[in-house]
Amino acid sequence: MQKRIVNAWNEWDELEEIVVGIADDAYFEPTEPGNRPTLRDKNIAEILPFPRGFKKQEVTEKANEELNGLVTLLESHCVTVRRPEKHNFGVSVKTPLFEVENQYCAVCPRDVLITFGNEILEATMSRRSRFFEYLPYRKLVYEYWHNDPYMIWNSAPKPTMQDAMYREEFWEWPLEERFKRMHDFEFCITQDEVIFDAADCSRFGCDIFVQESMTTNRLGILWLKRHLEPRGFRVHDVHFPLDLFPSHIDCTFVPLAPGVVLTNPERPIKEGEEKVFMDNDWQFIEAPSPTSSNEEMPMFCQSSKWLAMNVLSISPKKVICEAQEHRLHDLLDKHGFEVYPIPFRNVYEFGGSLHCATWDIRRRGTCEDYFPKLNYTPLAATTNGVSCLIM
Ligand code: DAV
């Protein structure tokens, strides 16, 4: 029997192979309808625009040092580590329907690709500058596809990313307005096309939880349901109404082991959506307050202080965490996890921390049902297979 290379069913089983991002040739994320990057310091932001063009070499080098440190740590745990190819992110993108001045970087494979068991799926993506971000990983995907006859490879339909796909006025809504609308789950993308970033999905064996966000809409979740249900998965949409700018689930709701999710105390799950976890004896552990406040995060970083909880599990007992997050280390230690601290703050301005900057290819283990007490209505059982999601 030929060995399976691609096999990962959840976020915590013993890790055997993973892709770690690289910071080479990274560019600042451009302003576009799906993204309005701003300087962290509000006073400076009033007088200076967000930078454009390539990131300075020394900034890229510092991030690469920390990414390489992660590689060394993973290899010391006998994990096979692969890296993306270099890519020229300075090339502008023009399709028949949009144009954007530059691309972004290959630091966060998690946003773009996801392994569902033996399948590698390329997400649609939601931003123009990330339309072609699968390219630095294509050579690797081909290699897995050639060497693992069981591997299934799919690429979700590319959205048009034309102006009409976005709701630009979203960016002008004052906070009170967003707060008022927080249960509408309407953000900068409309509901007319299939849109999702891979990092809005969290894998729990045969159950996949997908967050509705600025980067994933309801048709995106419906597409994932239709795609995954015939293979035995159950796909659930989840919401965190107090996150007024949601993007990617892995700073909000992070499973660490069967029965244990690290949760964000400022972003509780929507009332009623906790039930499936409680009914199945899952425990929510609240993350402690992060070391840096939002104001203290790096100037060009567009993520929140909750990158603190963007940890990477290498087994149901071992978690890699950012070095300065001592309160989190203590909490995990108290819950019986072995913590491996590693410096990673120089990676923050490239869009993420340890979970974002990786994409697991193989973890030991198979597809298990961690929610045996679950009332799940598959699409096939609903009227014409049309989900209540879009009604
Ligand atoms: O909460 O700031 C960051 C996710 C980055 N990929 C947050 C989400």
> Is pLDDT of 2 > 80?
no
* 110 CA: nearest ligand 1 atom: 6
Q: Which residues are catalytic?
A: 197, 248, 356
**Residue type for position 325:** E
* pLDDT band, residue 391 (cuts 50/70/90): very low
- Tens-place pLDDT, residues 343-354: 999 999 999 999
| Residues 153-159, mean pLDDT to the nearest whole number | 98
- Tens-place pLDDT, residues 363-386: 999 999 999 999 898 988 875 545
Q: What angle do CA 179, 209, 167 make, to 5 degrees?
A: 40
Give distance in angstroms: CA of 249 to centre of ligand 1. 8
% residues pLDDT > 70 (the chain): 97
Give distance in angstroms: CA of 379 to centre of ligand 1. 30
Give the β-pairing of 318-322 and 338-342: parallel
CA distance readout (Å), 44 to 41, 368, 391: 5, 50, 44
Give the burial class of 80: count Cβ atoms within 10 A of its Cβ; 0-12 exposed, 13-18 middle, 19 or more buried.
middle
- Tens-place pLDDT, residues 166-198: 999 999 999 999 999 999 999 999 999 999 999
Q: Return the pLDDT at 384.
A: 54
- Tens-place pLDDT, residues 191-210: 999 999 999 999 999 999 99
Q: From atom 4 of ligand 1, which residue's Cα is the shortest distance away?
A: 248
| Residues 233-256, mean pLDDT to the nearest whole number | 98
| pTM (2 d.p.) | 0.96
Q: From atom 5 of ligand 1, which residue's Cα is the shortest distance away?
A: 352
105 C-beta closer than 6 A to ligand 1: no
* 252 CA: nearest ligand 1 atom: 1
* pLDDT band, residue 388 (cuts 50/70/90): very low
Please give the Cα distance from 123 to 132 (Å, whole number).
Answer: 11
Give distance in angstroms: CA of 304 to centre of ligand 1. 6
Q: Return the pLDDT at 313.
A: 98
| Residues 66-86, mean pLDDT to the nearest whole number | 98
Give distance in angstroms: CA of 348 to centre of ligand 1. 10
199 C-beta closer than 6 A to ligand 1: yes
Check: CB of residue 114 under 8 Å from CB of residue 121. Answer: yes
DSSP, residue by residue, 324-364: T-HHHHHHHHHTT-EEEEE--GGGGGGT--TTTTEEEEEES
Q: From atom 3 of ligand 1, which residue's Cα is the shortest distance away?
A: 303
% residues pLDDT > 90 (the chain): 95
Check: CB of residue 216 under 8 Å from CB of residue 156. Answer: no
3-state DSSP helix/strand/coil percent for the chain, to nearest 5?
A: 30, 20, 50
Q: Return the pLDDT at 381.
A: 80
For residue 92, the tally of other CB atoms under 10 A from its CB is 11
Q: At 71, which helix (H) or strand (E)?
A: helix 57-76
Higher-pLDDT residue of 388, 54: 54
Q: What angle do CA 108, 343, 248 make, to 5 degrees?
A: 30
- Tens-place pLDDT, residues 273-326: 999 999 999 999 999 999 999 999 999 999 999 999 999 999 999 999 999 999
356 C-beta closer than 6 A to ligand 1: yes
Please give the Cα distance from 55 to 21 (Å, whole number).
Answer: 16
> Is pLDDT of 390 > 50?
no
130 C-beta closer than 6 A to ligand 1: no
Phi/psi class of residue 379: alpha, beta or left (left: φ > 0; alpha: ψ in -120 to 50)? alpha
Q: Return the pLDDT at 383.
A: 56
Q: Return the pLDDT at 36.
A: 96
**Residue type for position 197:** D
- Tens-place pLDDT, residues 87-142: 999 999 999 999 999 999 999 999 999 999 999 999 999 999 999 999 999 999 99
Please state, rounded to an integer, the average pLDDT across all residues of the chain.
96
303 C-beta closer than 6 A to ligand 1: yes
DSSP three-state, residue 304: coil
| Residues 4-9, mean pLDDT to the nearest whole number | 97
352 C-beta closer than 6 A to ligand 1: yes
Question: In this structure, what DSSP letter does residue 247 have?
Answer: -
